[in-house]
Amino acid sequence: MSTKLMTRAAGLALASLMASTMIGGAMADEDTIKVGILHSLSGTMAISETTLKDAMLMLIEEQNKKGGLLGKKLEAVVVDPASDWPLFAEKARELIEVNKVSAVFGCWTSVSRKSVLPVFEELNSVLFYPVQYEGEESQRNVFYTGAAPNQQAIPAVDYLMSEEGGAVKRWVLAGTDYVYPRTTNKILEAYLKAKGVADEDIMINYTPFGHSDWQTIVSDIKAFGSAGKKTAVVSTINGDANVPFYKELGNAGIKAEDIPVVAFSVGEEELAGLDTAPLVGHLAAWNYFQSADTEANAEFIDTWHAYTKDDKRVTNDPMEASYIGFNMWLKAVEKAGTTDSDAVIDALVGVSVPNLTGGYSAMMPNHHITKPVLIGEIQEDGQFETVWETSGLVAGDAWSDYLEGSKDLISDWRAPMSCGNFNVKTGKCGGSGS
């Protein structure tokens, strides 16, 4: 056979192989519904995000035991964006374009979410974001099942200001240096000032991801708290930096009765790696604690322990937010009769599913959900005892009432408005909603 014929034959064989692979791939795609999982399994955020990957795999396995979705099995596609914010966008694109997932559950930090937003908008896919965040965003392709500031940060400050919470007068806003802590603290600073707190009674501090040398900062906090006014720390410190932060608080002898810390990013999972003895009495604000005494929660914990084969593995708030988001997606797909993004996005608004603290959480027209707000006190076993909670569910507010550029904005993704940042004063939509 001539070289030319051999090349042509090889080419035909390759084309035939590619065609059969594509057909096989298409058939495989038809046989299952693919679900993307986009969480850091390495790097500074792995301490928090790995559990969410495990929780999603459990939820998918449990749903397949019930018969899957639309008569098909669900298939998880897991990627590791490795706490690398630009890599989140690349991995999101890979999940949607290459793996053809029907929806993605993922991200933790706001910088990772901001990184993927243009990808979901461009490719018109669906992201469920399960972590508390700073608000100031409502995007058509994103469903926010974690807390907005009015479902965590503002109630936590209200509690600490109250007699019951210690009548705090001085405030340390300590955060990791990225968009979530900076925007949350901007909202909290405006809120505190609106409540009559003076400039000199607010101390703000930012540290990089993975920060480990807390001696100077904790010393400054101690000095700030020694002015004769009740002081508290509001912590938006994220990831593994929490371990040396809390350790240094203990070293400095800062007890909860002296200067309480209320954390927005420390839950049961983060406490599992800490010596909790010096932390007893410090606080966290979430919408769920493992200690919630409900039948649904007991069943969830049992399923989790059976799945992980480890009775010591804890549950936490972002896991519950993943659970809520996943069940909302299932219900919306069933309602729409398809996994098509546009149909599912429309079907999601108004969907209501059980949460784990009792009652039902509903998806609002602004793509945020209704949730209870709980303040918990750290116990010696690394669990939280709820010391305060809202009397009912709180609807997540995408735009803060305390920021100048936001207080006139509302979000409603239903037709005819279909807008994430509608200005009620000008009567105009500002754009994509972020």
DSSP-assigned letters across all residues of 271-315: HTTS--GGGTT-EEEES--TT---HHHHHHHHHHHHHHT-TT---
pLDDT tens figures, 20-50: 333 333 334 479 999 999 999 999 999 999 9
Distance of alpha carbon 250 from alpha carbon 218, whole angstroms: 10
In this predicted structure, what is the pLDDT of residue 24? 34
- The answer to whether 179 touches 111, Cβ cutoff 8 Å, is yes
- Residue-wise pLDDT tens digits, 142-201: 999 999 999 999 999 999 999 999 999 999 999 999 999 999 999 999 999 999 999 999
Residue 82 carries which side chain, given as an amino acid letter? A
Contact present, 90 and 99 (Cβ < 8 Å): no
Q: What pLDDT band is residue 243 in, cutting at 50, 70 and 90? A: confident
Query: What's the mean pLDDT in 397-426?
Result: 95
Please tell me the pTM assigned to this model: 0.89
- Compute and round to an integer the Cα radius of gyration of the chain: 23
Sheet (strand 32-38) strand order: 73-79, 32-38, 103-106, 127-129, 142-144
Burial class (CB in 10 A: 0-12, 13-18, 19+), 250: middle
Contact yes or no for 370/395 (Cβ under 8 A): yes
Q: Strand 374-378 relative to strand 384-389: parallel, antiparallel, unpaired?
A: antiparallel
Q: Residue 66 CB: number of other CB atoms within 10 A?
A: 8
Which pLDDT band holds residue 270 (cuts at 50, 70, 90)? confident
Confidence (pLDDT) at 407: 93
Determine the Cα–Cα distance for residues 38 and 65; give it in Å rounded to an integer: 23
Question: Per DSSP, which regions of 379-418 are E strands?
Answer: 384-389, 394-395, 409-412
**Which position has the higher pLDDT, 70 or 5?**
70
Residues 335-353, mean pLDDT to the nearest whole number? 98
> Between residues 285 and 279, which one has the greater pLDDT?
285
Q: What is the pLDDT of residue 14?
A: 39
Instruction: Average the pLDDT over 44-59 and give the result.
Output: 96
Phi, psi of 220 (to 5 degrees): -65, -40
Instruction: Kindly provide the residue ranges of all beta strands, DSSP E only, lying in 373-414, ordered along the sequence.
Output: 374-378, 384-389, 394-395, 409-412
Task: Indicate if the pLDDT at residue 1 is higher than 60.
Answer: no
Q: CA–CA separation, 200 vs 44, rounded Å?
A: 33
